[in-house]
């Protein structure tokens, strides 16, 4: 399971010209589910996401988590995070889990965040979404349940 985590001042998702989710200060999480991922991957990433200390404290050091600063999280599924661009010019997506596997794991990831006390909103799985955000910093972190960066 792979996540791109962006610290944001605000973020939102629109589907068919209707805003379906919006958060203030917090994290935008773009989430990709890989073939072979399971609940342990979702639990690992949820714990990392909830406790990742990338918000500044009073000394302007990245020392606070989204929980510490009462921030919100917007989770948007994004299979393209699993793109393989090593051959040719067209990305391959064979590493991305099929929707019937990915959707429940995305839901489980969201439930795991909520279970840790995080306020969470989501995009719409498999929808053509417009995601808008104002980066804070910018701070962008890559997390992968299978690799260390």
Q: Which residue among the candidates 19, 80, 126, 140 is catalytic per the annotation?
A: 80
* Nearest Cα to Cα of residue 2 among 131, 117, 105, 130: 105
Is 78 tagged catalytic? yes
> Within a domain: residue 108?
yes
> Within a domain: residue 83?
yes
How many independent structural domains does the chain possess?
1
pLDDT of residue 147: 78
CA max distance for the chain: 48
Name the E strands within the chain. Answer: 2-15, 18-23, 26-32, 55-56, 62-64, 72-77, 119-122, 129-144
> Within a domain: residue 139?
yes
pLDDT of residue 27: 98
> Residue 110 belongs to what H/E stretch?
helix 99-115
pLDDT of residue 148: 62
> Residue 74: how many CA atoms within 13 Å on its side-chain side?
26
Give, for all 149 residues of the chain, the pLDDT tens digit: 999 999 999 999 999 999 999 999 999 999 999 999 999 999 999 999 999 999 999 999 999 999 999 999 999 999 999 999 999 999 999 999 999 999 999 999 999 999 999 999 999 999 999 999 999 999 999 999 987 65
> Within a domain: residue 77?
yes
| This prediction's pTM | 0.95
Q: Which residue among the candidates 79, 109, 112, 122 is catalytic per the annotation?
A: 79
> Within a domain: residue 149?
no
Which residue range is the domain that position 107 belongs to?
2-143
Please state whether 36 falls in left (phi above 0), alpha (psi between -120 and 50) or beta.
left
Is 122 tagged catalytic? no
Q: Which residue among the candidates 78, 112, 121, 122 is catalytic per the annotation?
A: 78
């Amino acid at each position: 399971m792979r996540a791109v985590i962006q610290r944001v001042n605000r973020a939102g998702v629109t589907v068919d010209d209707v805003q379906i989710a919006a958060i203030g200060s917090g994290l935008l999480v773009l989430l990709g589910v890989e073939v072979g991922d399971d609940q342990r991957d979702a639990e690992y990433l949820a714990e990392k996401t909830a406790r990742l200390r990338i918000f500044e404290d009073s000394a302007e050091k990245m020392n606070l988590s989204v929980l510490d600063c009462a921030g919100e999280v917007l989770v948007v599924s994004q299979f393209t995070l699993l793109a393989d661009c090593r051959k040719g010019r067209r990305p391959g997506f064979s590493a991305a889990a099929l929707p019937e596997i990915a959707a429940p794991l995305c839901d489980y990831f969201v439930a795991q965040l909520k279970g840790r006390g995080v306020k969470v909103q989501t995009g719409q799985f498999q929808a053509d979404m417009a995601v808008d955000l104002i980066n804070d910093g910018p701070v962008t972190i890559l997390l992968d349940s299978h690799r260390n960066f």
